[in-house]
A and B are shown apart, each in its own frame.
Chain A
C-alpha cells in the first residue's frame, strides 16, 4: 500500500492519540507540525514502523521567525526509500525554553545536523552525545544564522589563534 497523507495521519493518530498533528501540503510536499515533547519517540516510530520505514534522515535545520512567539521551528526532512516518500516534520521551539530532544539515537546522521543547527541557531539538543559547534570556533559567542546577527558580522567576535611563541 503506497504511502499517502491519509495513511500517515491515521497511523500517527492511532499511535499518539493524545497529540495533535497539523498536516499541510505545499507544492505536493507533506508537512507535519507537531509538539516538540514527543519528537524522539515519534521519529523512532516513523523509522521503525514497517509500513513507513523513514530510514533516511536527509536534513535537520531550523528557521528563525524573529518576531513570532515561538521563535524557532526545527525542521526535519526524512525520506522513506522503501516507500519512495518524503516527509517534513516541524516542531516549534520557544526562545525562553530553547531546547528540543535529540534524534541522533534514532538516525546517526542527525548528530552533525543537530550540531550545525546548534551552532547556527543556539538551539540546545537534549541527550546529544557530542554537542559542539560544527563550523564556528568553540570560543565564538554568537549564533550567526539568527536574524539578529548582522550580515557583516560583529567586529572582534572572532579571535585570532594564540601565538605559541
Chain B
C-alpha cells in the first residue's frame, strides 16, 4: 500500500470515492488518506484493486476496481461452439472448475432440450459437491491466513489435495478439468475414482474437526472476525449476495433446494444458515456446508445407478471417440457437430446452479446456429464483491482483508 497523488488515480474513481461527502479531492489527499490496495496484494485473492479512503485507521469509503483479469469470455463464447467453451469455464472460478463445467453443460442442455442419463447426472452431482468442498477448504484456509493463522491453510490444502487426486484419476487433469460434455460426462467414473471418493469422505470429517479446533477456539481468529462486516438479511438480498455469504445473514436460500437441478431433490441435506451476518458467520456456513456436501456424496454414491454416461442423441451430442474411428455414421455426426455445431432451436434460457461462491448462472441466446448469439455469465464473485464498500465502512484498515476473505471472491470469475 502506498500513498497516492492526484495523478495516480483516475478522476472519475476519485469522484466515486468522495461521492457521499463534500470534501474536495485536494482536501482528501491532504487531510485524509487515500490508499491503494492491490491489484498486486496477497490478501485480495487475485487482482482485486481497492481504493480506500481513511480517516486515521478508520475506513470512510472504498471503491473496488475490477477488470485486471478481464479476458472477455463473453465475447469469446459468441465466437465458438458450445463444445469449445467447456475448457474456458474451468478458468472462471478456477477453485471449483468442476461445478462450472456442470453449470455450463446443464445450461446448454436446457437450451438444446436434452437431458443427460441418470448415471452421468449422479456423477455430476458428486463432482459438484467435491468441488464445493475443495473450494470451501481454500476459502477457510486463506481466510485464516489473511487474519494470521498460517497452519490452517496448510492443513486445509492437504485435504483439498486429496480431491485433486480424485480429479486426476477421473479425468486426467488435476486443476482445469473440463470433465463434463454436453449430454453427459467425458468418461464413466472408474471404480478406483469412486473408491477414492469413498475413502475421502470417510476420513474427511475428523480432519475438518482438527482444522476447526485450531481456529474455532482461537481468540485472535474469532475476534478478528466476530462482528466484522455485518450485513442484514434484507441488505444482503438487496445487494445481490448469494451462496454462503447470503446464508451467513440467515437467509435460507439455496438453489439446490429452491430450484433443484440434477437429483438434488432426492437428496437429504440441510441448508446451513447462521443469523449473525458477520464474517465469522460466513466462515461457519462454509465449514458446515462441507459437512452437508459429504452427506450428499454419500447418498449419491449409494443411489448411483449403472448405465450410460453419455446421451445417445447424434444431432446434439458428440459420439464416443472409439466409435468415430470405427463407424461411418458416427464419423459423419462427429464431422457435423465439430464443423457446424449443435444448433439449438432459437430461444433463450437462463440456468443457474449453486456453485461454491453462490449463484452461477449462464444466460444463453440461440439464433439456431452452432454458436451462441449471446452468452452472459452471472458470476457470484462479481456480485458478492459489490458488497465490499458497505461492509468495510467504519471498520479498521486491517479488517478489509478479513471481510474480502470472508466473501471468498475469485477474480477469474469476477472479471470473466
Contact = CB atoms under 8 A, between A and B. Distances in A.
Of A109, A111, A130, A132, most buried by chain B (CB within 10 Å of CB) is: A109
Interface stretch (A8-16, A37-45, A51-59): A51-59
A137 B376 CA distance: 21
Interface in A22-75: 26-27, 29, 31, 55-59, 61, 63-64, 75
Given A27-B111, A31-B348, 20 more contacts: A27-B110, A57-B240, A59-B376, A61-B374, A75-B363, A81-B253, A81-B258, A86-B259, A107-B238, A112-B382, A120-B74, A130-B16, A130-B19, A132-B16, A133-B67, A134-B67, A135-B415, A136-B70, A145-B75, A145-B78
Interface string B380-393: 00110010000000
Interface in B247-277: 251, 253, 258-259
A97 interface: no
Contact of A26 (B258, B349, B373): B349
Contacts of A129: 19
A-B CB proximity, top 7 nearest: A109-B240, A135-B67, A135-B70, A26-B347, A59-B378, A61-B376, A108-B238
B374 A134 contact: no
Contact of B363 (A59, A108, A120): A59
B383 A109 contact: yes
Contact of B79 (A27, A63, A130, A151): A151
Nearest to A77: B350
A138 B12 contact: yes
B150 to A, nearest CB: 33
A99 interface: no
A136 B66 CA distance: 9
B3 interface: no
A29 B72 CA distance: 27
B205 interface: no
Nearest to B235: A108
A113 B382 CA distance: 9
Contacts of A84: 258-259
A86 B261 CA distance: 15
Contacts, number: 97
A123 to B, nearest CB: 14
**Most chain A CB neighbours (cut-off 10 Å) among B12, B67, B352:** B67
B74 A145 contact: yes
B237 interface: yes
B237 A81 contact: yes
A86 B239 contact: no
Interface residues of B, number: 46
Contacts of B278: none
Contact of B349 (A29, A58, A111): A29
A103 to B, nearest CB: 12
B416 to A, nearest CB: 8
B220 interface: no
23 contacts: A26-B349, A56-B237, A56-B240, A58-B350, A58-B352, A58-B359, A61-B374, A63-B374, A75-B376, A77-B378, A81-B237, A84-B258, A88-B350, A108-B239, A108-B240, A109-B386, A130-B16, A130-B19, A138-B10, A144-B72, A145-B74, A145-B75, A145-B78
A22 to B, nearest CB: 14
Interface of B: 7, 10, 12-13, 16, 19, 66-67, 70, 72, 74-76, 78-79, 110-111, 113, 235, 237-240, 242, 251, 253, 258-259, 347-350, 352, 359, 361, 363, 365, 373-374, 376, 378, 382-383, 386, 415-416
Nearest to B112: A27
A129 B416 CA distance: 24
B26 to A, nearest CB: 19
Interface in A76-97: 77, 81, 84, 86, 88
Given A108-B239, A135-B67, A145-B74, A81 B349 contact: no
Given A29-B349, A77-B350, A136-B70, A55 B12 contact: no
A77 B16 contact: no
B365 A63 contact: yes
Contacts of A63: 365, 373-374
A137 B382 CA distance: 17
Contacts of A64: 374
A57 B416 CA distance: 20
Interface in A117-162: 120, 129-130, 132-138, 144-145, 149, 151
Contacts of A31: 348
Contacts of B383: 109, 112-113
A12 B415 CA distance: 36
A60 to B, nearest CB: 9
Nearest to A130: B16
